[in-house]
Amino acid sequence: MARSPGRRPLAQWLVTGAGPWVVGDIDTQPGDVEAFRRENERAGLVRIRRLAVLLMLLNGAAWLTDPWLLDPLPGVQPAMAEGRFAMTIFGVGVLGASYLPPSAAVALAWLSGATLCGGVAYTMGRIGGPSTSWFHSTYPFLFVALLGWAAPLHRAAIVTAFTGCVLAAYFGPHPAYLADPMAGSAIVHLLLTAALVLAVGLGLDRARLRLFLYGRAAGRASARLEARVAEQTQHIQALLDRAETAREDERRELAAELHDETGQVLTGMRLVLRAARARAERAGSPLAPVLAQIAEMMQELGWTVRNLLVRLRPRVLDDLGFVAAAEWLAQRTDALPGLTCAFEARADDAGLSAARATAAFRVLQEALTNAVRHAEASRITVTWDSASESRVLTVADDGRGFDPASPTAGLGLAGMIERARMCGGALDVRAAPGRGATIELTLPIETEEATEDARGGAP
């Protein structure tokens, strides 16, 4: 902690309680001690209110039992009754004063503590001198000084004031008590109690301050760590976004190359094979059956390449848009044996960017794959609907369902969630074991106004 300009460490500790040996190992900022003071004022006033209420309740309860308990002691009951009445009025005043502005309330609280000590000492002085046990009843009230935090200099002044009030209120009205043989011993015991209160108070004040400063330092460290984690998370997400974009671009290029190059080669090979097979059949060559078998293998190879192209990047998505691609994918799923897949488009895909269209298609592709391979569904319903400046893709199946919170939910679900996040959307998963599953993807769209703003308002 930085030292206050022109103030030595000892003076700084006496005035603020924040000496280098108290807060030197804590990451403390200049405003922390002032924040602690304000917080301690608030907490101290709460404790004062509770103490005032507690003292009034105890005082009232004792007031009712005094006639029975103190009746054998001559002269004690009247003095105690007057003292309890005065303490009740005093407690009400303290309770009301605690609701004043903090600075005034704190000052009145310490003044009330000194008055309480003096009032108790005055009552005890009316009952008996130092040779009796009544003077010793004033010792516990010095511990009222421990209810709130104070800087060391203020702490010493408060304890001294409380002790002085006890001595003045007890011996002032009765100077003859000073001649009592037990007066010196009683005063020494009072001073020892005051020293104990001062030592305990300094220790508590130090502990309260350090605990508060540790909390503030831990809060700042936690905030820095959270900011660092958020920064790293954004960095990682940006890397993932670029990796996914690059992978999708690579898929598009590879699909185009397979379609153009491999497709032409396969087409040429089929034409040549067809001609060779026809010539072999006319000539009655034994190679004719072999060529027929090769033709079947070529057809299977064509289907394999076509399926590979679909998995990489269907041309219908680039040529006709998402709605057509989704309908085409639903039809392919519906063609599977023992499965019904219905698609309904209640909105178009206008305003849906290419990246979001790709994300929606991949989510649909993954959801249908999961419903067919893992959920063992017999019916799947796919809907494409509109909402406020967004589009909603819903895929519902009647399969065996799953627990979305389970660690075994799989990477497919995590991939769908990440795709939705990448394009500014949201994925809602509603599923339960034995009750099917519903995947709902919400994607924002670009309105005509947003598109014009992005173009700078150009017509």
- Rounded to the nearest 10 degrees, what angle do helices 287-312 and 183-257 cross at? 140
Looking at 194, 226, 258, the residue that finishes a domain is 226
The CATH number for 442's domain is 3.30.565.10
> Do 196 and 339 fall into the same domain?
no
> Do 141 and 19 fall into the same domain?
yes
Mean pLDDT to the nearest integer, 229-236: 85
- pTM for the whole structure: 0.54
Number of domains forming the structure of the chain: 2
Q: What is the pLDDT of residue 459?
A: 33
Residue 402 lies in a domain: yes
Q: What is the pLDDT of residue 452?
A: 41
Of the chain, the percentage scoring pLDDT greater than 90 comes to: 19
Q: Name the strands in the sheet holding 426-431, side by side, starting at the edge strand that comes first in the sequence.
A: 340-345, 379-387, 390-397, 437-444, 426-431
Q: What is the pLDDT of residue 75?
A: 63
Residue 367 lies in a domain: yes
Tens of pLDDT, residues 364-380: 988 988 888 888 888 99
Residue 114 lies in a domain: yes
Residue 278 lies in a domain: no
> Do 331 and 216 fall into the same domain?
no
Q: Print the SS3 string covering the chain.
A: CCCCCCCCHHHHHHHHCCCHHHHCCCCCCCCHHHHHHHHHHHHHHHHHHHHHHHHHHHHHHHHHHHHHHCCCCCCHHHHHHHHHHHHHHHHHHHHHHCCCCHHHHHHHHHHHHHHHHHHHHHHHHHHCCCCCCCHHHHHHHHHHHHHCCCCHHHHHHHHHHHHHHHHHHHHCCCHHHHHCCCHHHHHHHHHHHHHHHHHHHHHHHHHHHHHHHHHHHHHHHHHHHHHHHHHHHHHHHHHHHHHHHHHHHHHHHHHHHHHHHHHHHHHHHHHHHHHHHHHHHHHCCCHHHHHHHHHHHHHHHHHHHHHHHHHHCCHHHHHHCHHHHHHHHHHHHHCCCCCEEEEEECCCCCCCCHHHHHHHHHHHHHHHHHHHHCCCCCEEEEEEEEECCEEEEEEEECCCCCCCCCHHHCHHHHHHHHHHHHCCCEEEEEECCCCCEEEEEEEECCCHHHHHHHCCCCC
Residue 40 lies in a domain: yes
Question: Is the model's pLDDT at 212 over the cut of 70?
Answer: yes
> Do 56 and 204 fall into the same domain?
yes
CA dist 347 and 363 (Å) reads 18
**What is the rounded (10 degree) CA torsion for 254, 260, 262, 266?**
160
Give the highest mean pLDDT range of 36-45, 74-83, 112-121, 193-202. 193-202
When pLDDT is cut at 50, 70 and 90, the band that residue 171 belongs to is very high
When pLDDT is cut at 50, 70 and 90, the band that residue 450 belongs to is very low
> Do 212 and 331 fall into the same domain?
no
Residue 259 lies in a domain: no
> Do 330 and 200 fall into the same domain?
no
Looking at 226, 246, 275, the residue that finishes a domain is 226
> Do 356 and 222 fall into the same domain?
no
Mean pLDDT to the nearest integer, 257-270: 73
| Cα dihedral 53, 139, 176, 129 sign | positive
> Do 354 and 216 fall into the same domain?
no
Q: What is the pLDDT of residue 454?
A: 36
> Do 339 and 450 fall into the same domain?
yes
Looking at 202, 226, 250, the residue that finishes a domain is 226
Domain assignment of residue 420, given as a range: 321-454
When pLDDT is cut at 50, 70 and 90, the band that residue 440 belongs to is very high
Residue 394 lies in a domain: yes
Q: What is the pLDDT of residue 48?
A: 73
Residue 274 lies in a domain: no
Question: To the nearest whole number, what is the mean pLDDT of the chain?
Answer: 81
Q: What is the pLDDT of residue 310?
A: 66
CA dist 294 and 121 (Å) reads 117
Q: What is the pLDDT of residue 50?
A: 79
> Do 222 and 355 fall into the same domain?
no
Q: What is the pLDDT of residue 53?
A: 80
Tens of pLDDT, residues 106-162: 787 788 888 888 888 988 888 888 988 889 888 988 998 887 788 899 899 999 999
The larger pLDDT score, comparing residue 412 to residue 456, is at 412
> Do 221 and 354 fall into the same domain?
no
Q: Which two tokens stand for residue 12?
A: 């700084």
Q: What is the pLDDT of residue 418?
A: 83
When pLDDT is cut at 50, 70 and 90, the band that residue 448 belongs to is very low
Mean pLDDT to the nearest integer, 66-91: 68
When pLDDT is cut at 50, 70 and 90, the band that residue 81 belongs to is low
> Do 31 and 168 fall into the same domain?
yes
